[in-house]
Amino acid sequence: MIRVFVASICFWASASLVLAEAPLNQLTPEEVAEGWILLFDGETKFGWKAEFPTFEKSWIVENGILTCKTDAAFNHLRTNAVFSDFILKLDFRVNAKGNSGIFFRGGSKGVSFVGIKGITGYEAQVDDNDPRGLLYQTGGLYDVAPATKLIKGEDQWRSYEIIADGNHIVTKINGEVVCDTQQTKFHCGHIGLQQHNPGSKIEFKNIKLKPLGLKSIFNGKDLTGWKVVSRDPSAEKLQAAWVVKDGQIHVDVPAKEGVKSGGQGQLETEASYKDFIMQSDIRVNGKHFNSGIFFRSLPNTTWVGYESQIRNQWMEQRDRPIDYGTGGVYNLKPARKVTTDDNVYFKKTLLVAGNYIGVWLNGYQVTDYKDKRKPNPNPREGFYDGPGKIALQSHDPTTNLDFKNIQIVEFPADCN
């Protein structure tokens, strides 16, 4: 009877442990608020591509796990986005005598992670058995900085954390620091996952990243650093009202007797930005209202730039956005899914580097786009690679939105 009772306790304890585990490939509300983004959605390779097309089908998603077929030769899967300063976390599992690696700050400007000129970027090593020692074993930066100890775990899930903050790089295995080094060679690039050789079985899950170095461009008190621009400031048109209250920028279009049209305009930054990561919290106060965040926008005019759309509306299903959907690049690329709702705040992460535009909503990537149009000084007409304003849009008389926690970090000049 005692054995049965003890067994029951063990069973329920195990069940409770399973229930308590964090959901696979998802962020907690706290992580969303802190600015974390998912690099792997657990279902697709959206946002990733094989470094060489011949290996695209070798990388597959199985039961929420990103892995490479074991018969594949040496190759890498990489993010389409680039990153500079960040915290990267993931869980990995490698088979006995398997070999892999996590690349970062490498492969930019069309260069491969590993080529005839050597390695570009850094490789956080995954190999418990390299006979050359800790400089080439799990936790160390391959051929750059050794791990201080080897935390083994073949055929077991382990956590990897990489902190890249300026020249300071730290790696952790299962939460324990195993490498802490200063490095100056590489500053920006893609995240990459390696399949080293046939027979290696490497698996990844819960791949998430938090950009570092973001600074506020809204002080929460007034519109210092911002400028109101109206499309038509005449008395015959309604005008958007931009005010600061409760630490947020609020915009609506006050009614005016006898006037029914107008309200078009924007609130633009005084500073200009080219390549950057921007995060902001946004709330649409109504049903399906239309707005957007413009970037690389030409100054002192309205809506002449790239536009990251704000419109929480879809047809029948969320993967059929209306008017490009929140997170889509207006006129260029619809969001793959409308994941946000009206009347509640959501966090938008906008990453712009060269001709690449990535958008995450509450940490989930909805846009992965490269502008391959011919160069043009007008972003509405072609690819524009110059600096411009960040602008919050007032779209029409129904406009009613709030913005807060607006932060940005620029990429190094040599990132693309």
Q: Is 212 exposed, middle or buried (0-12, 13-18, 19+ CB in 10 A)?
A: middle
**pTM attached to this predicted model:** 0.93
Q: Specify the CATH superfamily of domain 24-211.
A: Exo-inulinase; domain 1 (2.60.120.560)
The DSSP-derived string for 83-132 is ESSEEEEEEEEE-TT--EEEEEEES-TT--SEETTEE-SEEEEE-S--TT
Examine domains 24-211 and 217-410 and report if their fold is the same: yes
Q: List per-residue pLDDT tens for the chain, 416 residues long.
A: 444 333 444 434 444 443 346 689 999 999 999 999 999 999 999 999 999 999 999 999 999 999 999 999 999 999 999 999 999 999 999 999 899 999 999 988 778 898 877 889 999 999 999 999 999 999 999 999 999 999 999 999 999 999 999 999 999 999 999 999 999 999 999 999 999 999 999 999 999 999 999 999 999 999 999 999 999 999 999 999 999 999 999 999 999 999 999 999 999 999 999 999 999 999 999 999 999 999 999 998 999 999 999 999 999 999 999 999 999 999 999 999 999 999 999 999 999 999 999 999 999 999 999 999 999 999 999 999 999 999 999 999 999 999 999 999 999 987 86
Class in CATH terms, 217-410: mainly beta
The DSSP-derived string for 146-190 is --SS----TTS-EEEEEEEETTEEEEEETTEEEEEEE--S---EE
> 60 near 67, Cβ under 8 Å?
yes
Q: Is 26 exposed, middle or buried (0-12, 13-18, 19+ CB in 10 A)?
A: middle
> 130 near 137, Cβ under 8 Å?
yes
Structural domain spans, the chain: 24-211, 217-410
